[in-house]
A and B are shown apart, each in its own frame.
Chain A
Amino acid sequence: MADTQLLLGLSFVLFALGLVGVMVRRNALVMLMCMELMLNAVILALVTFSLETATLSGAVLVFLIFVVAAAEIAIAIPIVLLLSRQRSSLDVEGYDRLQG
């Protein structure tokens, strides 16, 4: 298997792990961190594609993802903090006030 295929495979596995983490874990902060893992997997795929096709667009998109990830974490964590004060816990199974 070529090197780029292995890197792409790693990126896919990390993405799947992140997705499973968001679905499976109960702690809100851990879910946020699994989302960051998904973003990192996408960054790895983008860098691999940028090296394969010998253009810069992949790396440039990586920088945009850095900015978006930083902005997202700056807003998502305060939201989770405020939400966790409603139930005094970070367990997402307890955030059920919107249920019917």
Chain B
Amino acid sequence: MNAPDFAISLVYIAYALAVLLTFGAILTWVERKQAAIMSDRIGANRAYVRIPFTQVKLIWLGLFHGMADGLKLLLKEDFKPLAYDKLAYALGPWLAIVPVLLVFAVVPFGGTLDPGRLFPSLAEWFGGRTYPMQIAPIDAGILIVFAFSGITIIGAMLAGWSSANKFSLLGALRAGSQLISYELVMGLTVLGIVLIFGTVNLGTIVERQSGTVLGFLPAWGIVYQPFAAVLFLIAGIAENKRIPFDLPEAESELISGYFTEYSAMKQGVFMLSEFIEIAVIGALFVTLFFGGYNLPWMNDTGFVFPGGHAVPLSHGWVVVLQLLTFLGKVFLLCSFQILVRWTLPRFRWDQLLRFAWKFLLPLAIANLVVTAVALWVQQA
């Protein structure tokens, strides 16, 4: 790997880490504020920062509550339970957060980057190379997403089992069965998109969504497969263990579920992984069903409106527009997930499993069958 490739990879990794960690932190604030707005309250507005040597207190709509929470978690006492499996206890938070961060490595957050055109003074160092704006443009994109989601299951189960606590064990069992069931549903719903776009490469799926369908609709996944989009979102919220599917960490039933015995920043890591996974599920939904990083009727060279009217844009504008569009769409999806969380009550355990196996799974298979038959009829 030569120097320009390495430099671009570093830039991408820094960008992805910045985006994910910022989303993780901001979403805690968004959750509290959106919940407050939805229930006609003011929300948390007590944490302030005082400008030194003055009496001016900055409250800023409660943004500092996230900072205060982070500081609190870092400075809390770090106790360890009495009789526990040390190795699995230490591994739990790692296995819960690292795969979530790694899934974002295959998500395309922009189109093709041509650094030579953006920075003409460095053009000969880059030598005319173009880079797709993905950390890892691997061919088996969707499969890697599911592979890493399987590792988070092991993390949750290890965390719950290793703390010698019956409530944690219950949370771990619930987490294991729930995550397996809904990962299966997620896989089946994505197969419809794979059939239509003919590839499992996430970058190619986004590129193929930049055309038009029926002459005027943007060729987004949600236009081809609206049913599968809804199923995928439901299964994604269940994979994330959010309400209405948050029985593994049910606050009123199981103390804290599978991470009861984790104190201070170790629990902070679990919470952070949950909020980052909100952003990652949003990013996956945007990539598969919502057109990815492109605005409607936009592709790498500019806009191509239905009717043939083309509006070319310069490369710098295209890159900035694609990055901002991706972030905006992911934020909309995260806001929707928070809306669902504060609206619906929690499932009961048997209802949750029955919902997955007897309702969502047959619907996903039916969706796949209908898609396959429709494609076959269309190609005949």
A and B in contact, CB less than 8 Å = no
Please give the residue numbers on chain A whose beta carbons come within 8 Å of chain B beta carbons, in ascending order: none
Please give the residue numbers on chain B whose beta carbons come within 8 Å of chain A beta carbons, in ascending order: none
